[in-house]
């Protein structure tokens, strides 16, 4: 059996692990010259233990029969059709890396950025738009973060955390320099519904108030729970804990020497105002109906903002030649088998991870999910019979695409550790694509 996996994030590597344990040869392709997907370019750099899942994922790349072909973009360097011709089966695990839009006037003003872009920047993603983010950050004193999920918490923490904490991370030096120079005093976090409906997890939420030199402030009237929220607190332990944590902050007093995080609930952005760049966010108060949906009340207030971070979710995009559900932004599938418009499985094509089920769950969720897809694939291949296939290396050679293999990645890894050591840190992420490829070639 010879299988191609498209995407070297957690779901791709969990799929490769399950496939190789069943005796398959697996080529893992990624458009970036490095593996690990959002574990490298999403998980917050100051969450060391979560990021260390890389060590487990790396073991998959060390398995005999698993080959990394990094720096190969499917849809540009090679098509899905060509992959299907060159392998017994193809597993698409290319994630969901674009931002969702708020659809409010002024959203595209300078100074209004997507959390996806800010996260990519502070993690050192080669495609990050440094100029946009760094100029927005340089101008920022008062920030509005739209959204109350874990990514919004990550962004809020990174923008307010003391440098002593951030300097322990692998953030690129230019990121640390920009954060050290920042004049941010206030971060306003907006939740469309109440504290009971926020999707952050308690551990991440609590961390906000544990940051040195940071006060978390909340308007106590936001803590009055309507019946639907009270019922949620009764029935869901995580919700109950979250609300309890937020309640414990109601008597916080602001210290003027500190940075402030203001939590606003029942608050949705109605408009962003500004001439050349964002200056103000107009917020509309909302109420929650019995089904838990938010409705605008028409009552508004304004928050001064020189930086707005829109953190309302990630979404997947279509890949040429692959069916796509544009409403849910996922690849339509049944148990990981990709389905065409008539609901018929596309022979040899499978999907796992965020592009299969949308951007939900924790890293470990992708393991079970990938295993289910691999089980369907193996069942089909057993019925159909596997023939191996030539793989795509001859084709890549013809096209002059020089993939980074595992030894190239270990060379990048060593270069990042050496760069970190030169600054007294464990590692510093190399953010520039050419520098990554040069490090890979030098060591390979």
Ligand X SMILES: Cc1cc2nc3c(=O)[nH]c(=O)nc-3n(C[C@H](O)[C@H](O)[C@H](O)COP(=O)(O)OP(=O)(O)OC[C@H]3O[C@@H](n4cnc5c(N)ncnc54)[C@H](O)[C@@H]3O)c2cc1C
* Contacting residues toward ligand X, per CB under 6 A: 6-12, 29-32, 37-39, 42-43, 47, 50, 73-75, 93-95, 97, 119, 151, 154, 314, 353-354, 361-363, 366
Give 354's contacts (C-beta < 8 A, 6+ positions apart). Answer: 9, 11, 95, 96, 314, 316, 360, 366
Token pair for 346: 């596309």
Rounded CA Rg of the chain: 23
Smallest gap, in angstroms, from Cβ of residue 97 to ligand X? 6
Smallest gap, in angstroms, from Cβ of residue 100 to ligand X? 12
Sign of CA dihedral 178, 179, 180, 181: positive
Give 80's contacts (C-beta < 8 A, 6+ positions apart). Answer: 6, 74, 90, 92, 319, 320, 321, 322, 349
Q: How far, in Å, CA of 174 to CA of 124, rounded? A: 9
* Closest CB to ligand X among residues 47, 425: 47
* Closest CB to ligand X among residues 35, 269: 35
- Residue 354 burial (CB count, 10 A): 29
Q: How far, in Å, CA of 208 to CA of 220, rounded? A: 18
Q: Which residues pair with 74 in a beta bridge?
A: 78
* Closest CB to ligand X among residues 29, 223: 29
Smallest gap, in angstroms, from Cβ of residue 74 to ligand X? 4
Q: How far, rounded to the nearest angstrom, does the alpha carbon of residue 59 sit from its chain's CA centroid?
A: 22
Three-class SS of residue 360?
A: coil
* Closest CB to ligand X among residues 29, 346: 29
Smallest gap, in angstroms, from Cβ of residue 10 to ligand X? 4
Q: How far, in Å, CA of 430 to CA of 428, rounded? A: 6
* Closest CB to ligand X among residues 9, 106: 9
Smallest gap, in angstroms, from Cβ of residue 430 to ligand X? 16
Read off the DSSP letter of residue 220.
Answer: G
Smallest gap, in angstroms, from Cβ of residue 26 to ligand X? 14
* Closest CB to ligand X among residues 12, 195: 12
Smallest gap, in angstroms, from Cβ of residue 98 to ligand X? 10
What does 342-358 look like in DSSP terms, one character per residue?
TS-EEEEEEE-THHHH-
* Closest CB to ligand X among residues 288, 322: 322
Q: How far, in Å, CA of 49 to CA of 69, rounded? A: 27
């Amino acid at each position: 059996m010879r299988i191609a996996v498209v995407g070297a994030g957690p779901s791709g590597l969990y799929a490769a692990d399950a496939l190789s344990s069943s005796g398959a040869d697996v080529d893992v392709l990624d458009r970036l010259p490095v593996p690990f997907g959002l574990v490298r370019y999403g998980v917050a750099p100051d969450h060391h233990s979560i990021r260390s899942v890389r060590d487990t994922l790396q073991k998959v790349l060390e398995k005999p029969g698993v080959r990394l072909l990094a720096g190969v973009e499917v849809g540009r360097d090679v098509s899905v059709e060509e992959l299907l011709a060159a392998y017994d089966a193809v597993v698409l695990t290319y994630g969901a890396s674009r931002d969702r839009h708020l659809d409010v006037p002024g959203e595209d003003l300078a100074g209004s950025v997507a959390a996806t872009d800010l996260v990519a920047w502070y993690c050192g993603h080669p495609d990050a738009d440094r100029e946009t983010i760094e100029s927005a950050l340089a101008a920022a004193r008062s920030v509005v973060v739209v959204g109350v999920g874990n990514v919004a918490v990550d962004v809020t923490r990174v923008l307010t955390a003391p440098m002593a904490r951030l300097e322990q991370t692998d953030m690129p030096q230019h990121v640390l320099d920009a954060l050290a120079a920042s004049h941010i005093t206030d971060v306003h976090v907006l939740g469309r519904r109440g504290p009971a409906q926020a999707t952050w997890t308690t551990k991440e939420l609590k961390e906000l108030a544990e940051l040195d030199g940071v006060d978390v402030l909340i308007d106590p009237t936001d803590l009055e729970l309507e019946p639907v929220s009270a019922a949620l607190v009764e029935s869901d332990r995580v919700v109950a804990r979250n609300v309890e944590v937020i309640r414990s902050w109601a008597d916080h007093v602001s210290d003027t020497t500190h940075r402030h995080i203001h939590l606003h609930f029942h608050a949705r952005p109605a408009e962003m105002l500004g001439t050349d760049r964002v200056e103000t966010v107009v917020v509309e108060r909302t109420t929650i109906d019995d089904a838990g949906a938010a409705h605008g009340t028409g009552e508004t207030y304004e928050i001064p903002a020189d930086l707005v971070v829109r953190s309302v979710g990630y979404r997947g995009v279509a890949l040429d030649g692959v069916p796509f559900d544009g409403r849910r932004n996922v690849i339509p599938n049944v148990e990981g088998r990709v389905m065409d418009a008539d609901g018929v499985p596309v022979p040899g094509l499978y999907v796992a991870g965020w592009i299969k089920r949308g951007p939900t769950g924790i890293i470990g969720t992708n393991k079970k999910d990938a295993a289910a897809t691999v089980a369907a694939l193996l069942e089909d291949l057993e019925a159909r019979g596997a023939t191996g296939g030539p793989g795509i290396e001859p084709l890549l050679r013809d096209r002059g695409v020089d993939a980074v293999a595992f030894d190239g990645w270990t060379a990048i890894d060593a270069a990042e550790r050496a760069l970190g050591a030169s600054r007294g840190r464990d590692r510093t992420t190399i953010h520039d694509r050419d520098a990554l490829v040069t490090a890979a070639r030098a060591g390979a």
